[in-house]
Amino acid sequence: MKWVGSIDATCNWLMRIDIPRSATPFFNEKQRLFTENQSALQAWIHRPFSEDAILEQLKEKQAQFSTTQRYILAEGLEESYAESTISEKVRTNLEKLKQANCFTVTTGHQLSIASGPLFFIYKILHVIKQCEAYKEKYPEFEFVPVYWMASEDHDFAEIQSFNLFQQTLKWERKAEGAVGRMSLEGLETVLAEWQTKFSNHPNSEVHSLIESLNGESYGSAFFQFVNELFGHYGLIIVDGDRSDWKSAFSPWMKRELLEGFSSKAVLETNEGLSAAGFPLQVEPKDSNLFFLRPGKRERIQREDNGFSTGSRTWTNEEILQELSDHPESFSPNVILRPVYQEVLLPNLCYVGGPGEIMYWLQLKAVFQEAKVLFPLIQARTSILLLEEKNAQQWTEMGFQTTDLWRNPADLKQAFLDRQGSQAIDFSELDELTLKLSSKWTQLTHEVDSNQVSMVEAELTRITKQLLQLKERLEKIRKGKFDKQLKFIDAISSKCMPKGELQERSSNLFSFCADGEIYARLEQIKHEMDPFLSDFQVILI
């Protein structure tokens, strides 16, 4: 564990504590290979990630990414942003992407409400800061941060709620196919409740952000929301659910329909991964494509004489004609979506969570079969937000940063022990009480055995009174440190809400009680280090 408390190049004070991931309970040995030793993953990736590896990756991508691909991307982005108010940095980055010396660093995520858990924010700030660092190191090239919207995902239950100020706000409605194509029916209730949480700050930034979550579909609404949140950093948002972009990807989808090339590649890779002890995150299907229609996202299944989607069957000729006429109706699943992403973007590196990027190990052979360059893979920054005053009090109580995720009951006992306030030893009194009870029972038997039940009832009553007395004494002992013990509970609840790592449960807006969002975003971005393998505790 190391404390970063120095002045950085911009003369700002850094407020971060860095802890090796191995010193936390959150990352298993296999996940840590992505941050500590990607060379051990060489069989399943193109090249290990490092700051310097980006230049090698760039040269390969530059040779493979055509002017036509840039044109298709640029045209689609121009249409995507046509109805949006865009910042000068976004406008500049849209122009840069037309240039042969411009490349992207990409992260992706589902369309969560209110940005969902904190790690969504960390992913995006990670790629933003990473691009800034690359530009400084390689000024002859341009680097653009990209957020890939997983708008075609259908797992609505996973994203329909978020936690705000220890309360769950939930979008109640029936799930219908791809989340990005859903209407906003029922969302106004959640937005109103969200607004109410900041009613004491009616002029704060949060209200315009909430109002930006609006559009004809949830995909378009979330696009506007993320643009409002990160547009000033130049973040480019890519929603792959577009007919023109899918048309450009149709040769790969056609091959998947005819050959099922991705499944064969993954199955071969899975054998080696399993033998090496790696978990298999995704299971390939005979066709790794979905068919989209209003309110539905149906798996395309291979049949003896063609294909089926839901209740419909297709001949080979019919489904290939449908692909040609309506490419927007076809959706790559988790195995083919990364290939689609890398075909569409001049991308160098994909940044994801520890579990998320594990499935990329299954995809190298898919990329090879598709003749598409496999990107660098990097684990996103993992962060714990902690108020500076709380961190100071925590230290004064004798705790280490690594104690933040220990069991609160153990922490309380450890604190009391350090105060010399040992738990009261009642063993001698318990022994005397037991002897007295036994003696009373014996005497009663000798005098009148019919009275034993009466005496035992009295002894039970007395034992309960003694237990209450013990509890009162124990409460008095702990009451001397009541404030400190309550503080332990409060910090544990902030750092491990519901027993989960903070970044997986808490929401950004819970750390912006005054409704001012952008200063908090900038603070996190400033403190985080996207090239550091350590778990980072940021003091706010």
Better-predicted residue by pLDDT, 321 or 417: 321
Residues 405 and 462 in one domain: yes
What value does the mean pLDDT take over residues 107-123? 95
| Integer Cα distance of 180 and 152 in angstroms | 6
pLDDT given at position 469: 81
Residues 508 and 492 in one domain: no
146-150, 153-157, 478-482: least confidently modelled range? 478-482
Per-residue pLDDT of 423-469, as tens digits, reads: 666 788 788 878 888 888 888 877 878 887 888 888 889 888 888 88
pLDDT band at residue 103 under the 50/70/90 scheme? very high
pLDDT given at position 477: 66
Report the mean per-residue pLDDT for the chain: 92
* DSSP label of 279: -
Residues 140 and 34 in one domain: yes
pLDDT given at position 155: 87
Per-residue pLDDT of 123-144, as tens digits, reads: 999 999 999 999 999 999 999 9
Asked whether residue 476 carries a pLDDT value surpassing 70, the answer given is no
Is 314 part of any domain? no
The closest alpha carbon to 480, from 427, 415, 429, belongs to 415
Three-state SS string over 9-65 comes to CCCCECCEEEECHHHCCCCCHHHHHHHHCHHHHHHHCCCCCCCCHHHHHHHHHHHHC
11-25, 365-379, 492-506: least confidently modelled range? 11-25
Residues 126 and 99 in one domain: yes
Residues 347 and 230 in one domain: yes
pLDDT band at residue 2 under the 50/70/90 scheme? low
Cβ neighbours for 495, distance < 8 A, ≥ 6 positions apart = 384, 386, 404, 405, 502
Residues 349 and 492 in one domain: no
Residues 139 and 239 in one domain: yes
**Portion of the chain with pLDDT greater than 90, in percent:** 79
pLDDT given at position 417: 85
Asked whether residue 526 carries a pLDDT value surpassing 70, the answer given is yes
Token pair belonging to 320:
């290939």
H-helix segments, 231-315: 243-259, 261-275
Asked whether residue 306 carries a pLDDT value surpassing 50, the answer given is yes
pLDDT given at position 217: 95
* DSSP label of 148: E
Is 142 part of any domain? yes
Residues 364 and 455 in one domain: no
What value does the mean pLDDT take over residues 216-234? 97
Distant-in-sequence contacts of 155-162, Cβ < 8 A, 24+ apart: 155/110, 155/179, 156/182, 158/110, 159/110, 159/111, 159/112, 159/113, 159/116, 160/113, 161/113, 162/112, 162/113, 162/114, 162/115, 162/116, 162/117, 162/507
pLDDT given at position 64: 96
pLDDT given at position 423: 62
Residues 346 and 493 in one domain: no
CA distances from 432 to 290, 341, 466, 467 (A): 74, 75, 12, 14
pLDDT given at position 424: 64
| Integer Cα distance of 421 and 444 in angstroms | 41
* DSSP label of 505: H
Number of independent structural domains in the chain: 2
pLDDT given at position 22: 94
Is 156 part of any domain? yes
Residues 210 and 230 in one domain: yes
| Integer Cα distance of 450 and 92 in angstroms | 97
Cβ neighbours for 278, distance < 8 A, ≥ 6 positions apart = 30, 358, 361
24-38, 361-375, 477-491: least confidently modelled range? 477-491
Asked whether residue 173 carries a pLDDT value surpassing 80, the answer given is yes
Is 410 part of any domain? yes
Residue 325 φ/ψ, nearest 5 degrees: -80, -35
pLDDT band at residue 287 under the 50/70/90 scheme? very high
Is 432 part of any domain? yes
Residues 234 and 365 in one domain: yes
User: In which domain, by residue range, is 55 found?
Assistant: 2-245+335-382+502-539
pLDDT band at residue 66 under the 50/70/90 scheme? very high
Query: 411: number of CA atoms within 13 Å, CB side?
Result: 23
Residues 412 and 440 in one domain: yes
Is 153 part of any domain? yes
Is 367 part of any domain? yes
pLDDT band at residue 9 under the 50/70/90 scheme? very low
301 sits in which H/E element = strand 296-303
The closest alpha carbon to 19, from 382, 351, 511, 397, belongs to 382
pLDDT given at position 151: 95
**Portion of the chain with pLDDT greater than 70, in percent:** 95
Residue 350 φ/ψ, nearest 5 degrees: -110, 130
Asked whether residue 362 carries a pLDDT value surpassing 70, the answer given is yes
pLDDT given at position 10: 46
Asked whether residue 387 carries a pLDDT value surpassing 80, the answer given is yes
pLDDT band at residue 70 under the 50/70/90 scheme? very high
pLDDT given at position 134: 97
Better-predicted residue by pLDDT, 477 or 64: 64
Is 256 part of any domain? no
Three-state SS string over 369-393 comes to HHCCCCCEEEECCCEEEECHHHHHH
pLDDT given at position 422: 59
